[in-house]
Amino acid sequence: MYIKETHSTSTLLREQYSDTLPHLYTIRTDYQTAGRGQAGNSWESEKGKNLLFSTLLRYEGILATKQWRLSMLVAVALWETLAKYLPQEQLRIKWPNDIYFGDKKLVGILIENSLVGQYVGYSIAGIGVNVNQTEWQSDAPNPISMKQITGKNYDVEELMKEWISSMKSWETRTTEAIKAMYMQHMYRGQGWHNYVEREVSVQPTSIAKKGTFGAFRAELVGISEQGELILRKENNKEKTYHFKQIRFVI
């Protein structure tokens, strides 16, 4: 479904939800008046320049404690789609739900799950890809677009169709295969990098403290079954974080 303008494709999809909507049903728009990102952030997008859409995901038998598989699946399919057009060595999946090019944000992903008992009932994946936009008006610290990388314009609908095709391919594979792909292309997956612990907060990260006081160096150990980041600090001790507890220093 295409709609020229809406408040939020994810909100609209949730409002329209019924048991009759099929798996991978998608709403795409040219402009969102209230696009949302992780931790309450807004999503800036120039009208008609970028790929903005939300997709309904229906998978049976996924435990609520294993819903991280959905985040990995969506991110891996997006990486594979974009890797057809962009230099792969700089294209990375940033935990938990972004796609980066170098140290700049190319894609934002927000997955919302509806739970039925101990299982995921259905999920809505809201995705924003910076495609043809070259200037930003907000104070977003590090956006980048496909056009800025290559100098070319891209067909946003074609990109969306390619992602759906990639999803259909990856959803048939094992969780182990999906996780292996995710880890292979993970942002800062190798080496020592700076992080800051932050208090658990519902504040948008755009207004949360951005200083580097208390920064520490750590290397990636892995990701837990629940999707938590496992880091090893320089004192050789490991610690596990969920996404509101840690910030990458970029």
Q: Are the CB atoms for 192 and 205 separated by under 8 Å?
A: no
User: Does position 207 have pLDDT exceeding 70, yes or no?
Assistant: no
> Residue 197's beta-bridge partner residues?
246
Residue 138 pLDDT level (bands cut at 50, 70, 90): confident
- pTM of the predicted protein model: 0.90
Distance from C-alpha of 12 to C-alpha of 84, rounded to nearest angstrom: 30
In tens, the pLDDT along 155-164 reads 999 999 999 9
The CA angle 176-225-42, to the nearest 5 degrees, is: 100
Residue 208 pLDDT level (bands cut at 50, 70, 90): very low
| Better pLDDT: 238 or 139 | 238
Q: Say what percent of the chain tops pLDDT 90.
A: 77
User: For the chain, which domains are there?
Assistant: 2-184 (3.30.930.10), 192-248 (no CATH)
Looking at this protein, which amino acid is placed at residue 141?
P
Residue 97 pLDDT level (bands cut at 50, 70, 90): confident
Q: What are phi and psi of 131, to 5 degrees?
A: -110, -70
Residue 35 pLDDT level (bands cut at 50, 70, 90): low
Distance from C-alpha of 80 to C-alpha of 67, rounded to nearest angstrom: 21
Three-state SS sequence of 208-241: CCCCCCCCEEEEEEEECCCCCEEEEECCCCEEEE
Distance from C-alpha of 239 to C-alpha of 5, rounded to nearest angstrom: 43
In tens, the pLDDT along 171-204 reads 999 999 999 999 999 999 999 999 998 765 555 5
Distance from C-alpha of 175 to C-alpha of 172, rounded to nearest angstrom: 9
Burial, 135: exposed, middle or buried (Cβ in 10 Å; 0-12, 13-18, 19+)?
Answer: exposed
